[in-house]
Amino acid sequence: MKRTTPLGFALAALLLTLGAGTGAAQAAPPPEPAAASAGLIDALRDDLGLSPARAEERLRAEKAAARVEEEARRTAGGAYAGAWFDPASERLVVALTDRAEEAGVRALGADTRLVRHSAAALDRAKARLDGRAAPRGVAGWHVDPRTNSVVVTVVRAERDAPAVRAFVEEARAHGPVTVAETAAAPRTYAAGTVGGDPYYTGNVRCSIGFSVHGGFVTAGHCGRAGAAVRGWDGSAMGTFQGSSFPGDDYAYVSVHSGWWTVPVVLGWGVIPDRLVRGSAEAPVGASICRSGSTTKWHCGTVLAKNETVNYSQGAVHQMTKTSVCAEGGDSGGAFISGDQAQGVTSGGWGNCSSGGETWFQPVNEILGRYGLTLHTA
């Protein structure tokens, strides 16, 4: 960016760190990063009710669980039926369809649960639903490893509507289904032009997601390919090089000369700015935080993955559902777990006064789609 902000100071600190100790003889192994800053601990206390000690312990456990999940998937093979982080035990729970795989998975440091349906079978059942249009009273659907089923979420006030009931019955014909209710239908979080530290396209305000080499990633509903982007000061900032919505909700914006990218997520004074060190995916049940230009910094937990969200503009696939709140203008902003990028804010329901739920598009999918490299510290 062009101005000196906390982000700029973070960049300066990063450059000083990278420039120090160039001689091999005087170089020392970098210290293990702290589990969390004091500000992040405060945010987890406020949003999740965790004491400082519990927040530190949980963040370390979640980081370990993310590593175990990747190994468990490979170890279990076709018997893998999903996994989730259990806050009570602070361990990863891996669902399996074959008892013979339990010992190998437990040796990795995970707990196990025997279930009937594999992740592959549940994914196939969900994919059949993805091929049809859903009525407005259906908010979305996803595979839930904890219930070993496809969860279809319906808007409470419309649960008995004939079209909603017909959709649920069709879903049950394709596989095991659990019906859940939500207070309201999801919507995207774009907003009209107002003040703050966002980016603008047309009369829409959205939020920057993560820096990539050459620009940043954000939400697709914020602008179409070729649309010009203005920065916080109204000056020309860049151009949407690629955008997809609905179906997906992601975009890539290249930035002009005079704007730079840094591996930082703004803490907005609630916490210190966060350095981004990678994009390892957090498991279901893990804590997660969001940064956006309207409601700044808020935290919650990962509720579900690979959910199809039924917006009024059309369905969006492969979304991650969270308990984090958001409001208009937060679209495109960063979801981060510890120092690992997770995704860009898409939409949800509710607000940050009364609460709600928010979905994000996973960042690794966006990087792969456009061949981008995440800017990391």
- Nearest by Cα to 267 from 46, 48, 9, 40: 40
Q: Which residues are catalytic?
A: 221, 249, 331
- Nearest by Cα to 345 from 193, 149, 122, 188: 188
Q: Give the bridge partners for 191, in sequence order.
A: 205
Q: Give the bridge partners for 336, in sequence order.
A: 289, 341
- Nearest by Cα to 255 from 377, 362, 376, 372: 372
- Nearest by Cα to 215 from 280, 250, 259: 259
Structure tokens belonging to residue 331: 């679209």
Query: What is the rounded distance in angstroms from the CA atom of residue 241 to the CA atom of residue 51?
Result: 44
Report the DSSP pairing between strands 149-155 and 177-182. parallel
Tell me which amino acid residue 85 is. F
Is the peptide bond preceding residue 6 cis, with omega within 30 degrees of 0? Answer: no
